[in-house]
Amino acid sequence: MFGLRKIISAKQTRLADAYTIENEPVSSIDLMERASTAFVNEILQEDLSNKKIAVVCGVGNNGGDGLAVARILQSHNIEAQPFLIQFKDKLSDDCQINFNRLEQVTVISSEKEIPDLSSFDLIIDALLGTGLQREAEGFVAQTINAINASGATVYAIDIPSGLFCDEITNASSVVQSDLVVSFQRPKKAFFFPENNAYIQQWRVVDIGLDEKFIQQQESHQYVLDEKVSLLVKSRKRYSHKGSYGHALMISGAYGMMGAAVLTSEACLRSGAGLVSSYVPKCGYEILQTSLPEAMCLTDTQYEHITSLPELEKYNAIGIGPGLGTNPDTIHVVSELFERINVPVVLDADALNILSTKLELIAEIPKNAILTPHIKEFDRMVGFSVNAQERFQKQQQFSKEHQCIVVLKDAHTSISDAQGNLFFNTSGNPGMATGGSGDVLTGIITGLLAQSYSPIEAALIGVYHHGLAGDVAAWQKGQYSMIASDIINNLRIA
């Protein structure tokens, strides 16, 4: 879909391996060498000079990768000491080949032989890989605990050992990695917030698996990355402000007019030809002074919005930032649902109003875009015990109500009415600051006004919102950036 890459399961990845081996063709050991070389090339971007490195390997193909990585590092004159944790008598065929290619490997056959790893600067985890189906225990668990207790930096090959690839892991022994270098695709496990303790950073390297085969696999989960930029339309020379739509932002209340300013400016910066901001009377001078490019309409009430303006001339509407939940305001959302005939974005207090008037959820306009953070979503659909359950509810909500849900988090997920789920890869913790969500609402509404489809607007908006945040973090630092820095860097993103 849209040229975005599918996320596939561990089983599907093994099928892709087998298909590539048969149809490229390439031998399995040469494919392992290719993957191990890609891993080494990736970590050589870090400064490994004068680093003492331990490569902790298991007996399967992940261990085979690790043994190959140790050999390749040694060929670069980097001190890399391989350890084979022999928790089974027989090694996989390719693991055995790479074992034989090394001059020296320290074989660990029991818990009492597990070395003190605290003398190493870097540990490369190649213990278990993606095929794990039950919690690590015994000898293997003790090895994982020794890695975590070492105090060393940890890089994991493909996935941290002890972590399940496709499901939430409730294990007591999982490698706590500083960097994961994943082969061909990120794993679904990377997008579960519960796994944050095990994955500080991840990257993906291409190892040449057959992409056409991967894209043909049954999966409704996608990676949202730079490929989405291909959806952005170029501007025609003989165009004018009317060519790019008229957006209406309904936002603000006394003491929360900053949200109205941010969302309206973001809407303009996203490319909308015209933006009107509908606010309570207290916001008139604020909007006119801070954002002269936007037109300002006011409610009859001074402190909060109590009614809607005429809607016929707008191409898209965004509602919610700083709106408040005054009893006089609650019915505005219901009235909007009755009157609207253009795409709409529901955010912040518009969503809080839905959670207090759950009967309104059934009235959500088809193809509406909802942009809740986790707590707002849980208030609408009920508490989830973990991210896996929440993603399922998100997909079900979109299918049932024929809408798009942008669930805001470190890796924001976007669900559509067909049950697809897109995981965003841009953004950073510096965006965890007041107003960032208001900016996103403005961006998406502006894209809708320009005649992007709702799913296109959501995907383009989320990715470039995060990318602008990445530029802002580079300029200001994650601690110092504020929401307006995101707006200011949309031109670069």
Q: Which CATH number covers residue 103? A: 3.40.50.10260
Tokens read off for 23 = 């149809």
**Amino acid letter, 168:** I
- Nearest partner of 94 among 41, 36, 137, judged by Cα: 36
Q: Looking at the structure, do residues 247 and 122 belong to the same domain, yes or no?
A: no
Extract the annotated binding site for (6S)-NADPHX. Answer: 61-65, 129-135, 158, 259, 322, 373, 438
Domain assignment present for 66: yes
Looking at the fold, whether 375 and 458 belong to one and the same domain comes out as yes
Examine residue 224 and state whether it is found in any structural domain, yes or no: no
Judge if 343 and 450 occupy the same domain: yes
Return the SS3 of 227: helix
Instruction: Provide the 8-state DSSP code for 162.
Output: T
* CA separation for the pair 487, 363 (Å, rounded): 32
pTM: 0.96
Residue 441 and residue 332 share a domain: yes
Whether 198 and 306 map to the same domain: the answer is no
Which helix (H) or strand (E) segment is 6 a member of? strand 5-6
Looking at the domain assignment, is residue 76 inside a domain?
yes
**pLDDT in single tens digits along all 493 residues of the chain:** 788 999 999 999 999 999 999 999 999 999 999 999 999 999 999 999 899 999 999 999 999 999 999 999 999 999 999 999 999 999 999 999 999 999 999 999 999 999 999 999 999 999 999 989 889 999 999 999 999 999 999 999 999 999 999 999 888 899 999 999 999 999 999 999 999 999 999 999 999 999 999 999 999 999 999 999 999 999 999 999 999 999 999 999 999 999 999 999 999 999 999 999 999 999 999 999 999 999 999 999 999 999 999 999 999 999 999 999 999 999 999 999 999 999 999 999 999 999 999 999 999 999 999 999 999 999 999 999 999 999 999 999 999 999 999 999 999 999 999 999 999 999 999 999 999 999 999 999 999 999 999 999 999 999 999 999 999 999 999 999 999 999 999 999 8
Residues 76 and 134 occupy one common structural domain: yes
Structural domain includes residue 276: yes
CATH of the domain at 421: 3.40.1190.20
Q: Out of 172, 191, 219, pick the residue that ends a domain.
A: 219
- Token couple for 209: 């698996």
> Same domain, yes or no, for 211 and 238?
no
**The pairing of beta strand 53-57 with beta strand 80-85:** parallel
240 and 383 share one domain: yes
Same domain, 191 and 240: no
Q: Are residues 212 and 293 in the same domain?
A: no
Q: Does a structural domain hold residue 321? A: yes
Q: Is residue 493 part of a domain?
A: no
Binding site as annotated, residues: 61-65, 125, 129-135, 158, 161, 259, 322, 373, 408-412, 437-438
Mark the binding-site residues for AMP, compressed into ranges. Answer: 408-412, 437
Into how many domains does the chain fold?
2
Of 170, 186, 219, which closes a domain?
219
The sign of the CA dihedral 412, 263, 459, 316 is positive
Is 370 within the bounds of a domain? yes
Which residues define the annotated binding site for K(+)? 62, 125, 161
Burial of 403 (0-12, 13-18, 19+ CB in 10 A): buried
Residue where a domain terminates, one of 171, 201, 219: 219
User: What are phi and psi for residue 422, nearest 5 degrees?
Assistant: -115, 130
Domain that holds residue 128: 5-219
**What are the C-alpha distances in Å from 198 to residues 116, 151, 157, 414?**
21, 14, 13, 24
Please provide the DSSP assignment of 29-81 as one string.
Answer: HHHHHHHHHHHHHHHTTS--TT--EEEEE-SSHHHHHHHHHHHHHHHTT--EE
